[in-house]
Structure 1
């Protein structure tokens, strides 16, 4: 049966270690678009070798960069991936199958996380995101970080899993927590949350419990414990940095935030 043509869209910056696996997992697509932020490694060469159309644009922020990549797609249906993600073989088959007769404006896919030295345990809760969508009825949310696809129309869950290789070590995960918490200050400052000191004290404990117990990462042994602790530290940093910003009159340490580059 004929299916809707599919554009796969990926944003990159120095992702030579993962982009090949990412693009190999979507070789069935009718078009692969890679929007690069100026890589200095072999990212673009690998993408070209995998048959991708590669464009280069200075990084404008996570949400804006992904929206720009989506706008480059030639086809109506888009699958949005990060450069350190890859579809499982079963997920690729289910994406092909649903495009034979789409019955929603967007589809949520599940994501399995690599946690330092192992995959998250099978019974831990999987993250889920809208990744397959009709681009004429969707847009990026515009958030500085943790950006998402906003769909105008019905959204359904597709029983398909994306493997996310993410940070391979604790240093990388802590570095990401530091960068992302700085970016989140801009979003949260605009919403003016109250009781910042109380949030600094209480929310990290809540965040740890939610990640470790409710999401089931206690099943992942020490990898899950360390990941939960870093997640709690990230929760603390978000409010501590916002408190610092408020104390300094909204100017931080007198230095403007720098735009970050890279992948989720």
Structure 2
């Protein structure tokens, strides 16, 4: 049985170091669409070498840029990847079977994280991410920083398939990203009116660490798993600490030396 036509869609900016490995694993799809935002390295040349259709648009934010790229595709079924992500061996066959007669609006693929000097152990918990979807049923949401695909309809996880994210090759890169992402989440949480930030700031980080290191079996990744779990807990702490700071600044009407409530 023939599968549904499939487009791989990526957005790029100076991704020459990782793009070739990414595209080599998806050379079997019907179309590769790359939306570039002004790369000055060989990103565009690499994309064209793999037969990609390359378009350009200035980058404003992750979610809107991804949505523009989806709309450029000729096929309704989209495989959404980042330029530093690589499909694992065997994933192609599972995707193709899923698209032979799809009864779902989308499919999640488990993601294996790069943890500094190693790659996440296959037996530790891998979060499923909605990366294969029918664009007739949805697209990118408008959440700051963590914008992701949302669809209307049933979604299934393809547990036999996965992909590797190679974004954080060292601890310094992860810490810089944590600082940037936690700042970006403040406006979203303010709009949601999230309460009890002080309590969350105290309780959630240690709970996150225990869930990550023990329940999600990050201990299988050795010291890399321990460090990733600690930094994940620190990210949770920073989100609520910065939210608490923003709330105090917004309601402060007197001296900046005003005593703590």
1:121 partner SS: coil
**What TM-score, normalized to structure 1?**
0.91
In the aligned structure 1, how far is the partner of 2:14 from the partner of 2:239?
A: 26
CA RMSD of the aligned region, Å? 1.5
Aligned-partner SS, 2:67 = helix
Quick one: higher RCO (CA 8 Å, sep 6+), 1 or 2?
Answer: 1
For residues 12-64 of structure 1, what are the alpha-carbon distances to aligned partners after superposition, in whole Å with 9 as ceiling and x for unaligned? 12211111111111101111011122222221121111111111112221211
Find the residue that maps to 1:160 and give its secondary structure. Answer: coil
Partner of residue 235, structure 2: 234
Question: What displacement does 1:250 show?
Answer: 7.6
Please state whether the residue corresponding to 1:108 is helix, strand or coil: strand
Q: TM-score, normalised by structure 2?
A: 0.92
For 1:197-212, what aligned pairs fall within 5 Å after superposition? 197-212=198-213
- 1:29 maps to 29
Residue of structure 1 in register with 2:177 after alignment: 176
User: d(CA) in 1 for partners of 2:131 and 2:37?
Assistant: 21
Runs (4+) of structure 1 exceeding 3 A deviation are none
Structure having the higher Rg: 2
Unpaired stretches in structure 2, ≥5 consecutive residues:
253-261
* Number of equivalences: 251
List per-residue Cα deviations over 1:53-98 (Å, max 9, x = no partner): 1111122212111111111111011100111111123101111222
- The 2-side partners of 1:166 and 1:63 are apart by 18
Q: Aligned pair 1:120/2:120, yes or no? A: yes
Structure 1 SS opposite 2:247: helix
Q: Does 1:249 align with 2:224?
A: no
Partner SS, residue 55 of structure 1:
strand
